[in-house]
Every structure is written in C-alpha cells, then in structure tokens.
Amino acid sequence: MNPSSQQNFWKKFTKTNWEKAPLLLQDSASALQEIKEDQIFSMLVEYSNQCRKLKSPQGFKLFVEGQLQYAEDLLQFLPVKKDKSFLGYHTRMEKYFSDYCLVCDELLQVSQENRKPLQQFTENLFSHVGFPNRFVEMGLYLGNYKKTPFGVHVDGCGVFSFPVVGKKTFRLWTPKFVEKNPALNRAHNYSKFKKHSQVLEARPGDMTYWPSSAWHIAESDGSFSATWSLGIWVDRSHFDVILEALGPLLQKTLGLHGETKVTGQKNGQKSDKKKSLHSRDGQVVDLPQNFQETILKIESLSKNQLYDAFLKSWLELSSKQGFKTFPRQTPRNKISLDSVIQTSSLKSILWSKNKSKNRISCAFQGTVLELPPSHEMLRLIKDLNLGKKCRISDYLGLSKNKKDLASIQILADAGAFS
C-alpha cells in the first residue's frame, strides 16, 4: 500500500470504523501482511523456549474442551522447533486433544525482527486516532476449538485480527443489544441471538477489526486455524493518567503532612481548643486545619512543576511507542568510556528539558531518567538517535562525572543500544 492510499485508508477508517463499527478488509495490503506464517511460528517457538528455560508458561493459556488447564501442565504442550509449522504442531496436539485452544499474549517479547511493520502500522493508526492511554499487545490464538472457550465477551481493546492458517469466523453484537439481553454475557449457547449478530469471515491475507465495545466470540467447524491480533487497549481514561502523573508531585509537595492518618487535628496532635466546624443548624463553616494547609501547599505549585510532572508521564508513555512489552535484551557488559554504542532507526531515546529545574529528562521504552544539564550528554543522545556509532569517550571525556556513565548504563540495560 503506497503512502497516499495508506493515508486515505486511515482517514476513512477513523471516520467510519475506529471505536464505531467492525470492518472486514479482504486481501489487505497492510505492512503487517509482510509477517508470514513461518515467522509467526518461529516467534511462537522462541517464546515457548524462553518459557521452558524459565520453567514458567507466563503469557500462555491452554483450554481443552473449553476448560482452562493448570499452568504446571502447560509447558509440555507448547510448540517446539521439531513441529516445523503450525500444522505440524496441530498434528501433534490432536493426538492428545479433540478440542483445544492455545493462547499466547507475549509474542512482542520476541518480535525484534518484525517490529518495523508493527511499528509502522501502529504509528499510522495513532497519527489519526490518538495515542492509547494503556498499551498495544500482540496475541496469538490457535487450535481446533469450535468456540472461544470463555464464551461471548467484551474486552477493553479494539482488535485488528490477521488469520495465518485456516478460516476465522467472528460473531459480533452491539453493546446496546447485550445490555437488553444480559444472558449473552459469557454465553456458549447463543443460538437464539445469532440473527442479531454481525459475522466476519476472514482468511489469510484478510484483516478484521472490531471496536473495544463489541461483544464477540470466535467460531469454527472444528478445523485448525491460527490467528494473530493486535489489541489496542483504550480502557484507561485521561483522568487516570492525570492522577498517576500528579501522584509523585503531590506526595513530594505534601511531605509528612500527607502521611497524617486523621483529619480535624493538626499534625495528628490534639488541639488545645476544641473548634466546631459546623453551626448549630448543620452548616459547615470551615475546613479542618490540615485541609487548609493542603490547599496552601497545592497553591504553591508552579505551572512549570505541573508541566514537568506531565512531561515525565508522557515520556514514559510515548517512549513505549504504545506497546506493552518489548523483546528481551541480552544483558549488556558494563559500559565504559571506551565502549562504542549505537541505536537502530527504530530505537530513539526521547529527551526534553525540564521547566521547573535545570535538568534534562530522557526516556527509552518506559525507563525515564532525570539528568543534570550536560551539553556533551545531549550531543551523544542526538547522535545516537541519528544512528551514528558513538565512542563514549569522544563525548564525555575522561574528566566527566560518573553519573553520566551510570545513566548510559541504565539505558543500555533497558535495551537502548544494539
């Protein structure tokens, strides 16, 4: 899909479908179609290997005959390289189970190779609909299950779904219909409600979408299918973001005053003179002393302090690029002045100047650092973001504070450098 047709698609999608209506796009020309079946299977095997190494199937769920299996029994049924393909894995699994569904929600941990088309897709989406306040996650669903094991349900995310093997059928209901028919919630038997649903049938090469409010279930005739999806979680409000952003600032501003466990007494001590806070007719005529002191402390906050609190929150959120998880990083050796470091074109270290104090904040994949002002450090970050190979001593020199080197080490441990 060329840039012009991409923009036309997203404009139309935003106006007609985003958080409004489902969509089936046959023979989609999305960049995500570049991620082929064998690549998805390799990612699944790689993540399965990680789970076996850690002896933990975190991120996986296995349903057999609609029943969730115990985590401790799951590792033996994860894909292995010898399966060679999704169908090879299915051939092994159908020897044990006549109806199974394997779910994996953590493929982004091993998708470094496929990150470019994923990021291209989400950046196009976000530029038209806005940045999600929670995250994007990549899920994979495979098996010969006839219905989604947990029945008709609704998530807090809009979903883009891409079949890679077999046909995938989704049945959708509007939230208004389910509100009038609550028996649909988690239902497995919903035959009397089928005529009120919308059906999307997708095959490899197609793309489906439904909004976060859509109630849905996947259906099958018992044939094997494998489908991966991007869930865009939009169940976190701006109000929640604001509360989280202001929390650390308010905690610092209130100090010990914010730790008091009672209201109506100053600093937790009894007053010498009892003061009534309401009149005989019940009118509240004054606030307790600690409330009044809190007002004064909040009023003392400057616009620049508020800016920096929101800046830190935004750096953390935006540096994740919307994603929930990232590929696991090989632990870096200790950074030294002689180290040569480089980022890829997909790995920018975000930075900004604080307004309330002489500091620079920088962030990478959710790790946020606050640094003393340093022209050399800032020059290093800028050159790294341009894709240059940088020898640290060329920027920091031998006389620089060890704190700069420690900050670079933190960024290295977060995976900022290739």
Average per-residue pLDDT in the chain? 90
- Please give the Cα distance from 196 to 13 (Å, whole number): 24
Model pLDDT for residues 186-226, shown as the tens digit of each residue? 999 999 999 999 999 999 999 999 999 999 999 999 999 99
Give the pLDDT score at 381: 95
Tokens of 75: 């590792």
The segment(s) of the chain belonging to CATH 2.60.120.650 are 3-233
pLDDT-derived band at 37, boundaries 50, 70, 90: very high
pLDDT at 335 over 70: yes
Give the pLDDT score at 330: 61
The answer to whether 347 and 115 have CB atoms below 8 angstroms apart is no
pLDDT-derived band at 272, boundaries 50, 70, 90: very low
pLDDT at 275 over 80: no
Higher pLDDT, 291 or 115: 291
pLDDT at 266 over 60: no
Q: Write b or e for each residue in 38-70: b if 16 or more Cβ atoms lie within 10 A of its Cβ, otherwise e.
A: eebbbbbbbbbebbeeeeebebbbbbbebeebe
pLDDT at 175 over 50: yes
Lowest-confidence region among 68-72, 274-278, 295-299: 274-278
pLDDT at 33 over 90: no
Which residue is it, tokens 């779904």?
161
Using DSSP, state whether 203 is helix, strand or coil. Answer: coil
- Does an H or E element contain 142, and which? strand 136-143
Model pLDDT for residues 129-157, shown as the tens digit of each residue? 999 999 999 899 999 999 999 999 999 99
The answer to whether 72 and 79 have CB atoms below 8 angstroms apart is no
Give the pLDDT score at 268: 45
Contacts of 166 (CB under 8 A, 6+ apart): 203, 204, 223, 224, 225, 226
Model pLDDT for residues 100-125, shown as the tens digit of each residue? 999 999 887 777 777 788 888 999 99
164 phi and psi angles, rounded to 5 deg: -115, -25
Please list the residues that pair with 157 across neighbouring strands: 233
Percent of the chain whose predicted confidence (pLDDT) is above 70: 93
CATH number of 3-233: 2.60.120.650
Give the pLDDT score at 270: 52
pLDDT at 415 over 90: no
- Please give the Cα distance from 375 to 55 (Å, whole number): 46
pLDDT-derived band at 385, boundaries 50, 70, 90: very high
Higher pLDDT, 274 or 70: 70
Give the pLDDT score at 403: 84
The bridge status of strand 60-64 relative to strand 390-391 is unpaired
Cα 175 from chain centre:
24
Please list the residues that pair with 208 across neighbouring strands: 24, 161
- Mean pLDDT highest for which of 160-169, 258-267, 399-408? 160-169
108 phi and psi angles, rounded to 5 deg: -65, -20
Please name which of 25, 198, 60, 22 lies closest in space to residue 141, comparing C-alpha atoms.
60
pLDDT-derived band at 332, boundaries 50, 70, 90: low
